[in-house]
Amino acid sequence: MTKGFKNTIRQIHLWLGLASGLIVFIVSITGFLYVFEEEIRDFSEKEYLHVPIQEKPFIGLKIIIENYQHLEPKQKITTLKINKEESNASIEISTKKKKTYYFNPYDGTLIKQQGSDWLNTVLEVHRNLLLGEFGEFIQGWSVIIFIIMLITGLILWFPNQRRLLKQSLKIKWSGSFKRVNFDLHQVLGFYTSIFLLLIAFSGTYFKYETVKKGVSLVTGTKLRKGDEVVSNAKIDSTSMPVRYNTIYEAANSKYPGATSVSFSIRKTGELRLRMTYPSDWARNQNTIFFDGKTGQMLRTKLYKDNNAADVYEASNHDLHTGVFFGLIGKIIWSLVSLIGASLPITGFIIWWKKGKKVKRKKIRV
């Protein structure tokens, strides 16, 4: 590897880092905070995430949605979640105004309603910096730059001489502040680079169709949008509670065994039903699309028909959060995210110290 090539890579690494460092820090630190969102909620919200177990069946979505509409007649539902694994788990309804309503699964009464909490804010900062679509644009390109930074960082880490390899693999804690800071940037960056590349890549997968096409190209399979359904079944389109309840019961009857079911409204206006099933590794998920106004089934995407690109899509969220590898994965992902947040800081200090050194030399001259 020539000296000129490394100097070019160093300049790319430096200026891209200075340009995106603050955003990378924010995205990494919010990722670190959000990894254990589920566990934090289970602990802090346990009094309304579950109710005492009763010897009663699930009351059904019709009554729950009717009760919600009495409370909020003008607020449309954006998501509805049912935990089928635990019969006493509350039914969650969320709105566009970031409010969440928790209903008793046995009698349909309201348990609690709450606005956006600190975890929702952390997620929004992580996704769009609280700047809407403009924030999504900035965040997305900063992550792409971060991927380039990781690759250029690996090139810079690689020692020119084999005898220096050992030195590049450990932190010299006995060294000066400048040396320790440099080692923290170089050594920790090296050890976490593969994990950070996976986290960053899976993050871009959510945003960019080009990345999805890239996965399809690598796997040699095409990501399916779902199989179109020709159905003459009539659903009561005048009543949303009846419509949702009919869809829920029909889907559970046709595709039994789901541990969780969720409804969500897409930007296209389609109603999306997701049914998650037990799995050993990749997420088993059936996704069914309906006309948002009539409730007519449009297409189905069943996990039994998944190809390699579909399997990756189903697993991408879990890869991004570490859930794919269980509790150990989440612990590793949280630590890696914390280290990722430290890299812009240690990198800035390296640049700052070098700048001060150059200034001192000019003054002496």
Q: Which of 244-261 are b and which e, b meaning 16 or more Cβ less than 10 Å from the residue's Cβ?
A: bbbbbebbeeebeebebb
In this prediction, residue 207 carries a pLDDT of 94
In this predicted structure, what is the pLDDT of residue 230? 76
The domain limits of the chain are: 3-36+121-220+326-364, 61-105+225-305
**Amino acid letter, residue 142:** S
* 364: pLDDT strictly greater than 80: no
- Degrees (nearest 5) of the Cα angle 59, 61, 62? 95
Give the pLDDT confidence score for residue 267 in this predicted structure: 83
What's the pLDDT tens digit per position in 311-341? 999 999 999 999 999 999 999 999 999 999 9
In contact, 334 and 36? CB cutoff 8 Å: yes
The single-letter DSSP state of residue 288 is E
Q: H-type helices in the chain, by residue range?
A: 3-34, 37-44, 46-49, 61-71, 118-128, 132-157, 177-207, 209-219, 240-254, 308-321, 326-364
In this prediction, residue 3 carries a pLDDT of 80
pLDDT, one tens digit per residue, over 253-309 is 999 999 999 999 988 889 999 999 999 888 999 999 999 888 889 999 999 999 999
DSSP 134-166: HHHHHHHHHHHHHHHHHHHHHHHHS-SSGGGTG
Q: Which pLDDT score is estimated for 162?
A: 72
Residue 231, pLDDT > 70, answer no
pLDDT value at 359 more than 60: no
* Torsion 227-210-321-124 (CA) sign: negative
Tokens standing for residue 350: 């390296």
pTM for the complete prediction?
A: 0.88
What is the 3-state secondary structure of 233-256?
CCCCCCCHHHHHHHHHHHHHHHCC
Q: What is the pLDDT of residue 269?
A: 85
Examine the pLDDT at 97 and tell me if it is beyond 90.
Answer: no
3-state secondary structure of 359: helix
pLDDT at 363: 54
Task: Tell me the pLDDT of the chain averaged across its residues.
Answer: 92
Contact between 16 and 145 (Cβ < 8 Å)? yes
Task: Tell me what the mean pLDDT of segment 111-126 comes to.
Answer: 94
Instruction: Give the end-to-end CA distance of the chain in Å, rounded to a whole number.
Output: 33
pLDDT-above-90 percentage for the chain: 81
What is the residue whose two structure tokens read 């812009």? 344
Q: In what order do the strands lie in the sheet with 297-301?
A: 110-114, 100-103, 91-95, 77-83, 260-265, 271-277, 284-290, 297-301, 227-228
The confidence score (pLDDT) of residue 294 equals 87
d(Cα 133, Cα 208) in Å, to the nearest integer? 14
pLDDT bin (cut points 50, 70, 90) of residue 160 is: confident
Q: Tell me if 179 sits within 8 A of 168, measured CB to CB.
A: no
Please determine, for residue 164, whether its predicted confidence score (pLDDT) is greater than 90.
Answer: no
Residue 51: predicted pLDDT: 95
pLDDT digits 0-9 by tens, 165-206: 888 899 999 999 999 999 999 999 999 999 999 999 999 999
pLDDT at 237: 62
What are the tokens at 12?
């790319």
Q: Which of 109-113, 153-157, 245-249, 352-356 has the lowest mean pLDDT?
A: 352-356
